[in-house]
Each structure stands twice: as structure tokens, then as C-alpha cells.
Amino acid sequence: MTAPLTVDGAAIAADATAASMSALTFADGRFLRNGEPHRILSGSLHYFRVHPDLWRDRLERLVALGLNTVDTYVAWNFHERRRGEIDFTGWRDLERFLALAAEVGLDAIVRPGPYICAEWDNGGFPAWLTGTAGIGLRSSDPVYLDAVDVWFDELLPRIVPLQAGRGGPIVAVQLENEYGSYGDDADHLAWMHERLLAGGVTELVYTADGPTDLMQDGGSVPGLLATATFGSRAGQAASLLRDRRRGEPFMCAELWNGWFDHWGDPHHVRAPEGAAGVVADILAEGGSVSLYMAHGGTNFGLWSGANHDGARLQPTQTSYDSHAPIAENGAVTEKFRRIRDVIRDATGSAPPEAPRTPPILPAASLPLRRGRDLLDVLRGLGEPVRRAVPPTFEDLGLDAGLVLYEARPIVPRGGATLTIRRLRDRATVFVDGVRVAVLDAEQAAVGVRLEGSGEPVVLEILVENQGRINYGPLLGEGKGILGGVQLDRRLVQRWTARALPLDEWGEGELAGLAEATLHVDEPADAFLAFPGFGKGFVWVNGFLLGRYWEIGPQQTSYLPAPLLRAGDNTIHVLELERMGEAVELREHADLGPEQEYIETFD
């Protein structure tokens, strides 16, 4: 018998000799929990998007919504940012999160990927993995499977003892993630399933894919429960699954009751009555459901991912509020009340009251003390790496942040057009210390005209990784300058590059930045705003809160109380384009102009 797992002093049984039978099973089209009829009423809440001091609060809000289960992805890159450096402590303590779920009375569904999408950087894959030359991601490529095998050796021993059959909260484990939207390598899925079983998973294993034949054909596995992910038309999804999988219970593994936001787009919302109506439709079909998201949380630091629409990158913003029933700061919404009423009517059980909404700091203006010039700061940071051609982020061992490139080409008399081939993602171009252009990938390919006198110039290009693609065929694409820099037809060579891992910066690196002081008598949640600023990054007491950008939609950044301390708190700002005069505190979140979005698969 293994030692009991504990959290906050409470013990959870972890008997290795416990019965191997799944606590959650199904028969005749319905779920059974320890042999009794059961309906899964779940909500997605990602431990990596919520400050760990707030995990219990948010889990208790799921209970108050009427849910009996929490589901979470496991983000591989959150735990193994560098190959072989595994971290399951502090914010990354998955076992503690799951044990807290058990304490508040929730079952748990774990979704270990290893690919998770989730609008999370690189779909959860570490950059060192996707940067492996020639690797076949999400396939039966042995190089890929060998890496997953090593990762699962670290992960599975942490979740297996927490299965329901051993006294823990885990009742189900998802196989891969919406694989039918990506590929059709059945050998890959079979290997993943066998690997979970070999690693000790005895609870229910299931697949989750969109509600179309194309997606179900690619992602479902014979003998495993097939579920669907969707935002509308529950009846159609139920019919599709029942036609394909007779005798299996109908489950919506992700009900998209809201949606995420890209920078520059509107704030996507879903009417409370519409979201609650789809929940009611699923329950009327006798189905089970998991709300995606029940509580969205925040893409702190540089963890937000990106999509690509075939023509342009669509980076995801810092807020992952997702118009969820439980708002980014934990507030209970009208959508929460509507969905709770539907669940109460279906179950005949009244859930407990939600904890009170966390207090918000009052509005204030915090004057900014100017730091050193942007280039003066960045030129002094990072070790210079000299290469004949511009190294990529992957060449530099950098997964996120900025790279400052420098070369000294001769610009001919009459000038020349500077082009950057395959820029990923955004470049600020300086000539002799003067900003001359800000370019995205499309603009960089067209180029910008530089004046010249036949003499060398100091050409500096500051490249920002705006988030690694998390969905689709461009998953795993590299960052930086991937295709070279040209002046007219001539390549620019002999480069110096400085890797700038912003989320690893400490007191020394932050010392030259603009800063403001926030004094509080008692820590409380806050919403920061940056009026007059352009685009940049903000730290609070040395913690990288995330990105801000004037194009929105979000105009405020959520600052959770645990990041503050009584007394003075220091806010640092790295502004890339235009510095404002003051950082403001707002009493309410401003997530931008709203637009209703409902995914229909049309």
C-alpha cells in the first residue's frame, strides 16, 4: 500500500491494491457510477490558468453551479519547458489541484493530451519537441512517440493513484484531443490507448471529436466511448453518435457556452439564455455535459497560443474569460444563474450558494516613472550569438519572448527595399537607433524602403513571438526570422542575436523598465488599464502578468489578489511602441465590444 496522498492536511486513499475496475462505466446508453445510474455534469477549469491560491475558490464555484465534475487539460509545456526539467511544484502541482477537487466533492476528468489545443501556446507541446527536425507530431512517428513515452513516464504515476478506483477523484481520462479535426493515424491512437493502459489507467478512457462523420471517423477508437464537442444543435449531435455507437451514452465533452478572443477581434459572447438552452437540450436527450469553459481564467505570462486562418496569424489575447458562467475574476454571472437553474430543474437538487464575489481595488491612476530607452534596455540583456544568417527562436533555445537581431549592411545610394522572408511573428525595425517600421508577416514580405548613402548602417530588428499556433496543420511552426533578410535582391548576412525570455526576467532585467507603484492596505483583485499605451508587457512584483495591446478587444488586465502584498507593489512595463503616462486601476473588467458567436460547423 502506498503512502496516502495529502493536500492541506487532508488524506486521500491511494491503495495500489484497490480494485482495478472503473468507477465510471456505461451500459444500455447510460453512465453508471459504482453501478448506479449517473449523469456527468462537468465544467472545464484549467489549473494552469488560475492562481493556485484561488483553486479552491473556483472549484467551490463549480459546485455552486450544480456540477459534480471538473475537467482539466494537462499542459506538457507548462511542466517541461526545457527537455528533462520536470516541474510539478507550486502552480504546477497537478496532484494538489485534483486533491482539492476531491475535497470540495467533485469528480475529475483528466485530459493529458499530450496535445491539448486549448488556445494554449503550441497546443501544450514544448517548443523543444516541435523544434525537432522532421518530427511527425500527433502521428505514429517513432521520434514523437518516444518523446511522449518519456513524458508519460513522468505524468501517469502522478494521476494513476488519484483514480476513483483507488479512492481519488479521477473517473475518466481523455485519449488525445479532437484528433479527428487533425489526422487519421489510427496506429497513433492505438499506441496512445495502449500507453495509458500500460501506465496504469483503469478508469474510463474516451475520445472527444466534433459532431461530424469526418471528425468522428478520424478521432474515434473501436471499443472506446466516443463523445462530441460542439456549441449548438445538441439533437443532431446525439443522433449522430447514437447512429454510430449504439448502446453508448451521449456526452458533450465540450459545450462551447462562450468563446475565446483573438487580438483585434470583437469580444465573443454567448447569450445566457442561449447557452442555458443548449444545456437543457443535452439533458433532455438524456446526455451528460462538460461546460467549456465553466471558468476560463487567464493566459498569464506568454502562454496564450494562436490560430492561423490560412492568410494571417490570429494570436489569442491574455484574458481567457471566454464569457464563461464564472467570470475571469470569479464573479457569478447571469449565465451562471441560468445554467444553474437548468441543472437544478433536471436533477431536483439545489446546489449550495456560491462564495461571494472577490473584492476589487478602487479606481486609481498610478503615475509612470520612465525607464531607459527600449533599445538601451534590450541591447544590454541576453548573450550575443553570432551567426551568418538570423537564428530562429528554436536555434537560440527560446520558446517565447523577443529576439533582438543586429546586422551592419551597406545600404546603397538611393536606398533599397528591406524584406523579411517568413517572419514569425511581428518585427520592429530600427536603423541607426531610429524606428522605421513595424511589420507583420505579410508586410515584411512586401518590405519597407530604407534610405541609403552607400555606407554601413546599424540594422536592428526586434521580433516578437506572439504565441505559438495551437490548432491545425501549422501546429509546431517555428518563430523568429525563418527565411532570411534581404536588401533588394541581396541577402543580409553576419548577424548578432540576443534571446530575451521575458517570463524569466528577474530584478536585474526589470530594473531599466518604466515602473509605477501601487500601494494597498490589503491585497484584493484589480483590473489594470493602459490608456495611451501601444503594445507591450506588464509585470507585477516581478511576475509577468501578460501582454496588453491597444487594438483589444480586452482593455483591462486581470490582476489576482495573491500577486499583491500589503504595502507597496511594483508594476513594470515594457512598451514596444508608445508609452502612456500612467497605469490605471479600473473597478470593472473591460473586455471590449461584444459580438455573439455560436459555433455551428456550417
Other CB atoms within 10 Å distance of the CB of residue 552: 18
Q: Specify which residues 558 forms β-bridges with.
A: 527
Contact 75, 112 (CB under 8 A): no
**Of 73, 66, 156, 46, residue with least CA distance to 106:** 66
All residues at 6 or more sequence positions from 317 whose CB lies less than 8 Å from its CB, including other chains = 261, 262, 263, 299, 304, 547, 549, 552, 553, 554
Distance between CA atoms of 247 and 241, rounded to whole angstroms?
10
> Using CA atoms, how far apart are residues 462 and 480, in angstroms rounded to an integer?
9
Instruction: Report whether 305 contacts 122 (CB < 8 A).
Output: yes
**Which one from 60, 119, 248, 254 is the annotated catalytic residue?**
254
Phi, psi of 409 (to 5 degrees): -80, 155
Catalytic (active site) residue 254 = yes
Cα angle 45, 557, 508; round to 5: 105
154 is a catalytic site residue: no
Using the Cα atoms of residue 246, residue 250, residue 254 and residue 258 in order, give the sign of their dihedral: positive
**Catalytic, out of 80, 176, 178, 285:** 178
What is d(CA 31, CA 215) in angstroms, rounded to the nearest whole number?
23
Contact 278, 231 (CB under 8 A): yes
How crowded is residue 557: how many other Cβ atoms within 10 Å of its Cβ? 25
Between CA 315 and CA 299 the distance in angstroms is 12
List all residues 6 or more positions away from 284 whose beta carbon is below 8 Å from its beta carbon. none
Task: Round to whole Å and give the CA distance between 46 and 8.
Answer: 20
Contact between 320 and 334 (Cβ < 8 Å): no
- 443's enclosing H/E stretch is helix 441-446
Position of cell 517568413?
422
Question: Looking at the annotation, which residues are catalytic?
Answer: 178, 254
